[in-house]
Each structure stands twice: as C-alpha cells, then as structure tokens.
C-alpha cells in the first residue's frame, strides 16, 4: 500500500519554470497535479494538463511534440483526453511513469526545455472542467470531531450513535451537480418545517452552510462481487482534491430521517480542479492512531500498513469572502483550520469498506471524506459547528455577522502539505459563490 519515495520527491529539485521554485507555490516540481482545462473563453476542446508553478503543461501539446516514449507516452495520450478517466484506469505503473517523465522534462538542465516551454500556458489564462466523468459519488462521515459536534446539538448526552466507531459511515450523493472551482450556486429551495410548525413550507434555505472536505478520486476499479482488500486499497486511488459539500441545514433537518440527506445536499458540490496524486503525497504519510479505549478496526479494515502510514498530514483551511469584502478589495477572512490526519478512518479503509459487499468501483468515482473538523474550536469545519447551530453568530473583520451563508458570500477552501526535508505542496483552491435562489414561480 505504501508508495516508496523516489527521485520525484527530492526536495532539492528545481524547475526551469522559475515560478515553481519560490517555496510558497502550491505547485513545485515535486507536486505535478492533474486537471482538465482549456483557454478561458475559448471553444477549444478540454484536455489534460499538469500544474507547474503558475503555468499549465498542456499534455495534448506535449504528446504532439513527441518527447515521451514507452509507458509515459501511452499514459500522456490517455491523460491528454477531455477527461482523465482512461488515464485513471491505467493504474499506478502508468501514473508513476508519466510523473517521472514530466519531472525530468521540467527540471533545470533538461535538454528539451525549449520544446516543453512551447507547451505551457499561464494558469491565469485558462478555465477548468470537472477532471473526470464521475459515475458515482459517495460522501463519508470520517471526522469524529464533526460527528460529535453535530451530535451534541441534537443529543447532548449521547452525541455519537453506537455504530460510528465501528463503521465508516457514508451516503450516496449526487454526481451530476458536482462542479469545479469558480462556480456560482443558486441558493437551494426546499421543504422546511421549523420548530413549532406542523405544516412544512417551500422556501429558499435560510441555513445554508459549507463543509470543508477532501475528495478522493478512484483510479482503477474492481469487478462486481470482488472486494478490495484494505492492504491493496490505495493502489486503486488516483489522488485527492478539495471538496465543499454545500448543505441546506434547514432542509436537512426536515428530510433526513429515516433515509438521510437528499435535497439538502443534491444541489451542488464544488471541487478544486487539481488532483494531487497519491504518489506526490508520499512524503506526508503519518501513522494511523486509534484510542485503546475505542473499538479497534474489524479485520477487513485492518492491516499493518494502515497503522504504519495510513494517515496523511494535510493542513486544511476555509475562508469566507463577503460582498462587502469584495467591494472593499479586502482579503477573505479565515474561518477554520484543521488537518486530515485527524480523520477517524483512512482512505484505504473507506475503499475497503465501500467494496466489502462486492460493490464495483469505477475509474473516476469520487468519495468525499466528510467534514474534516478537528478537536479545537478553531478547527470546526462548518458554520453549523462554528456558530453552535446558529446560536452564536460569528463577527467578521468588516463588522458583519454570520450564522449561515448569505447571498453573495463566497467560500474558499485551501490545503497544503509541509514538513522538514520535503518540498511544500498544495492543492490550489475550491471557490464557490452563493447567488439568490431561482424564483419558484
């Protein structure tokens, strides 16, 4: 399961793309994440690209230049298509071969620098699409801190349900409404039945929220009826992105029993365009821990490699940008900071649990990690938690207050990995803005 460090992770590597070397970029040569893009405002076909500094390496142009051979050439041809599904389906040998070839082409001293330079476009001049055709979307619930915080709002004496520490809880979400960073979402309309009401009303949500999550992209799938073992699970994972699971809390409160979220979640999910590969994340692996007093993972969720390096140290941030901030050209205000290492279940455990029934995953399927709250007040990764169910409004630097999102608000998610001896890598950002509801009439 563990991906070995190799020459692509060398922290001393430098690129001839100078913007990749400043130490603060999300996209140094040690990262090389994948997206699907085209020139902004054009009618060009979308195609695969790789981030390097403030540039995008056009994989279709690189393929046409004929600079790659062997496995890397075949992988580049697949990754250059309008979606990454075929590339994802090729598996880790192909993914790694292309990553290595690109690293060598982009390093200082590469003989092909001039030819590769012609394949670059500035990121400020491009637009993105969802990077793969998503067949299915499953949203997990893997932060015990989020589960506890939310549970306390409804069950103060018993916030966690009995199954939480045994089962990686999840629900089946809506794939068709997943959009890419930069999108605007209409405030959802739905049935609401508040305290003291006996008849629901249909209205725009008044308790609209964000959830700070990671997205987990499946690469190679499995045949129906064939389980993926937890020790083999990460070989089936292509990489991770940022994911904002927008939530209409008032709609959710009325509809979620007995079958769980539906309209409260189906109107939109916003992801970052760049997929950071599992190989790029190899330097930032961390041991998985579980309190001795808690139930230990059942056998199909347990393997030595899970304990040794099943967690990933990824710092996660959420910021809010209001209309007033935008008009005054003020920076977005940080709301919360947490870390994926706090997740109660690992990526490999999510995959193993999803397939224990024999469920068949497919290239391009997407998982949400669930809201990644941490143990402190500052790491509560949704407004539901930050405002204690809307009872304690947040005061912003502009003097505005928020319990839930208002029209014009934009939510920005960011993430990065950083440690001594490794190059800092990041995920870019997920940006989504709320606009007024569509008139029901």
Helix, strand or coil, per DSSP, at residue 257: coil
10 Å Cβ neighbour count for 69? 9
- How many angstroms separate the first and last alpha carbons of the chain? 54
Instruction: Using DSSP, state whether 317 is helix, strand or coil.
Output: strand
Angle between helices 70-79 and 92-106 (to 10 degrees): 100
Residue 236 tokens, joined: 């089936």
Q: Where are the alpha helices (DSSP H) in 304-346?
A: 304-309, 323-327
Task: Tell me the sheet residues that pair with 39.
Answer: 126
- Residue 177 in contact with residue 266, Cβ under 8 Å? yes
The C-alpha atoms of residue 407 and residue 429 are separated, in whole angstroms, by 21
Q: How far is CA 287 from CA 194, 245, 379, 396, 402, in A?
A: 44, 27, 21, 37, 37
Exactly one of 9, 146, 236, 354 is catalytic; name it. Answer: 146
What distance in Å separates the CA atoms of residue 139 and residue 211, rounded to the nearest whole number? 11
Beta-bridge partner residues of 395 = 401
Closest CA to 112 of 46, 37, 61: 61
User: What span, in angstroms and rounded, lies between the C-alpha atoms of 118 and 63?
Assistant: 12
Report the C-alpha gap between 370 and 382 in whole angstroms. Answer: 11
Task: Mark whether 146 is an active-site residue.
Answer: yes
- Whether the CB-CB separation of 263 and 398 falls below 8 Å is answered with no
Instruction: Answer left, alpha or beta for residue 408, where phi above 0 means left and psi between -120 and 50 means alpha.
Output: left
Q: 327 Cβ partners below 8 Å, 6+ apart?
A: none
Pure H helices in 53-168: 59-65, 70-79, 85-90, 92-106, 113-117, 144-154
Rounded Cα–Cα distance for residues 282 and 411 (Å):
29
Beta bridge partners of 243: 213, 271
3-state secondary structure of 102: helix
Active site residues: 146
């Amino acid at each position: 399961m563990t991906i070995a460090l190799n020459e692509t992770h060398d922290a001393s590597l430098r690129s001839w793309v100078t913007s990749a070397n400043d130490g603060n970029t999300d996209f140094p040569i040690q990262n090389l994440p994948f997206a699907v893009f085209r020139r902004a405002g054009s009618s060009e076909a979308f195609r695969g690209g790789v981030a390097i500094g403030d540039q995008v390496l056009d994989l279709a142009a690189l393929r046409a230049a004929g600079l790659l051979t062997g496995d890397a050439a075949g992988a580049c041809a697949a990754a250059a298509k309008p979606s990454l599904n075929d590339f994802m389906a090729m598996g880790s040998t192909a993914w790694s071969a292309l990553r290595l070839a690109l690293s060598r082409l982009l390093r200082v001293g590469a003989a092909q620098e001039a030819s590769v330079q012609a394949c670059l476009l500035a990121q400020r001049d491009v637009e993105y699409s969802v990077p793969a055709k998503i067949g299915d979307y499953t949203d997990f619930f893997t932060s015990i801190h989020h589960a506890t915080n939310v549970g306390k709002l409804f069950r103060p004496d018993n916030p966690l349900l009995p199954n939480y520490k045994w089962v990686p809880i999840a629900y089946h979400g809506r794939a068709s409404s997943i959009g890419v960073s930069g999108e605007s979402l209409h405030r959802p309309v739905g049935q609401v039945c508040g305290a003291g009401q006996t008849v629901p009303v249909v209205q725009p949500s008044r308790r609209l929220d964000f959830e700070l999550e990671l997205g987990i992209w499946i690469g190679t799938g499995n045949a129906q009826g064939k389980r993926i073992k937890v020790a083999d699970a990460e070989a089936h994972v292509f990489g991770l992105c940022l994911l904002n699971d927008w939530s209409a809390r008032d709609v959710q409160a009325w509809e979620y029993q007995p079958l769980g979220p539906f309209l409260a979640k189906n109107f939109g999910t916003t992801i970052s365009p760049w997929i950071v590969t599992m190989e790029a994340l190899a330097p930032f692996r961390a041991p998985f821990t579980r309190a001795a007093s808690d139930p230990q993972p059942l056998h199909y969720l347990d393997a030595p490699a899970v304990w040794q390096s099943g967690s990933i140290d990824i710092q996660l941030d959420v910021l809010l940008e209001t209309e007033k901030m935008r008009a005054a050209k003020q920076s977005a205000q940080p709301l919360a900071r947490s870390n994926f290492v706090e997740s109660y279940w690992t990526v490999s455990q999510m995959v193993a649990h999803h397939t224990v029934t024999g469920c068949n995953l497919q290239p391009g399927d997407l998982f949400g990690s669930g809201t990644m709250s941490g143990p402190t007040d500052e790491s509560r990764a949704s407004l539901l938690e930050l405002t204690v169910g809307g009872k304690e409004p947040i005061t912003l630097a502009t003097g505005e207050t928020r319990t839930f999102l208002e029209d014009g608000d934009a939510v920005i998610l960011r993430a990065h990995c950083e440690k001594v001896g490794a190059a800092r890598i990041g995920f870019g950002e997920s940006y989504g803005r709320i606009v007024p509801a569509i008139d029901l009439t």
